[in-house]
Every structure is written in C-alpha cells, then in structure tokens.
Amino acid sequence: MERCMALGKELNLEATELRLGLPGIKESEKQPSSTIKSNKRSFPNMDEKSCGSKDSFKASQAQKCNQEIASPAKAQVVGWPPVRSYRKNCFQAKTMEGAEAASGYVKVSLDGAPYLRKIDLKVYKGYPELLKALEDMFKFSVGEYSESEGYNNGSEFVPTYEDKDGDWMLVGDVPWDMFISSCKRLRIMKGSEARGLGCAV
C-alpha cells in the first residue's frame, strides 16, 4: 500500500484524481465504497530480474491505479456475477421479448388460423380502435365489452393477451396505457376455452 502511495506521489496522481469537492481541499476520511475497484492492492516485492523493464512495468501499474481511482460506480465486469452464459442468454431473451413489446409490435394469433399476424399497438389510441382493427384483420366480431361480463354478444371469440408475468388476461380490463406497456402478445381465443375468461354465454 505504501509503495502504491509513493508511486502515486511520484506520478502526481493526486492532481488528476477525480473527487467531490473543490480543488485544494484534502479529503480527511476515505469513504468505503462499493465500487469494483480493488483499492487495496499493493505491489509485490520483486527482484531486479523479475522486473525486466522497470519503467514500463511501473507505468502500466500506475495506469491501472489511475483507472481504478476514476472507475465508475457500477461498471459491468466481465464474468460477474458468475452465472453460466446459458442461463444469462435465457434471461436476456426474456428481457428482449419485453423490449420488443415495448416497441409496439406484438404477435396476434387467432385460434385455428394457419399463421399469425403482427400489429403495432402504438398506432391505436384505445381499445375500440384496436378491436376494430382485429375484427377487420381476422374477419370476426367480439361484441361489446362490459366489466362484469366481458364480451357479450354471444360471439365465440374473445380477445386475450399475455402480460409481462406470463398470465393470460382479458383485453379491456386495464387502462389503455397500462395495457400497451404490459401486453406481450395477443391471442384471440375461440370456443370452449373462451368460456370462463370473460364470455357470457
């Protein structure tokens, strides 16, 4: 530790040190920090032999010291936390799904249809517009929405969506803005499965 400080003085690291406060004021107490820097490193005792070129070695150490003092509070460190890449990739995929939904485009499936569609939720101003667009796209109708009974024109189709938690919810219950921020995909349920999820039959 002493050698580090001596070296620091030699290279006048203090002058370039980043800190809070006016220049010229000495910090009396070193705050313990939760940053990544290893501020307790000391240089190993080394033979003449082992040093090769002392100057370049000192320079690289000093550079490291400098970097450590200036490092940001929560830099992302390679390989930390120690989680297998497989697991990290799985969870990254999950957050990317969320990000995709944040861009507005979500998949829409209709039970029984051969392929899915994608729509941009951000284009619509509210539920009536969205439902109309879905009805046009898939050629079906859902009827009127009511809080107590869901969709009730006797249609066998019910619009549902998957939210951030992975739950399947009835379209229309929550405020529009909450809906578009939490909707990951849409599914227009049909038939017996639609019963119970808000289709008064």
Return residues touching other proteins (CB under 8 A): 1, 32, 34-38, 40-46, 49-54, 56-57, 60, 74, 76-91, 94, 165-168, 189, 192-193, 195-197
- 117 Cβ partners below 8 Å, 6+ apart? 107, 108, 137, 138
Task: Tell me how far, at minimum, the Cβ of 42 lies from other proteins, in Å.
Answer: 5
Tell me whether residue 23 or residue 44 sits nearer to other proteins (CB atom).
44
Tell me whether residue 87 or residue 139 sits nearer to other proteins (CB atom).
87
Task: Tell me how far, at minimum, the Cβ of 177 lies from other proteins, in Å.
Answer: 23
Residue 113 CA to residue 120 CA, distance in Å, equals 20
Tell me whether residue 21 or residue 81 sits nearer to other proteins (CB atom).
81
17-27: burial string, b at 16+ Cβ within 10 Å, e else: eeeeeeeeeee
Residue 101 CA to residue 121 CA, distance in Å, equals 9
How many H-runs (helices) and E-runs (strands) does the chain carry?
Answer: 7, 7
List the Cα angle 169/174/175 in 5-degree steps. 145
Tell me whether residue 21 or residue 44 sits nearer to other proteins (CB atom).
44
Task: Tell me how far, at minimum, the Cβ of 93 lies from other proteins, in Å.
Answer: 9
Task: Tell me how far, at minimum, the Cβ of 54 lies from other proteins, in Å.
Answer: 7
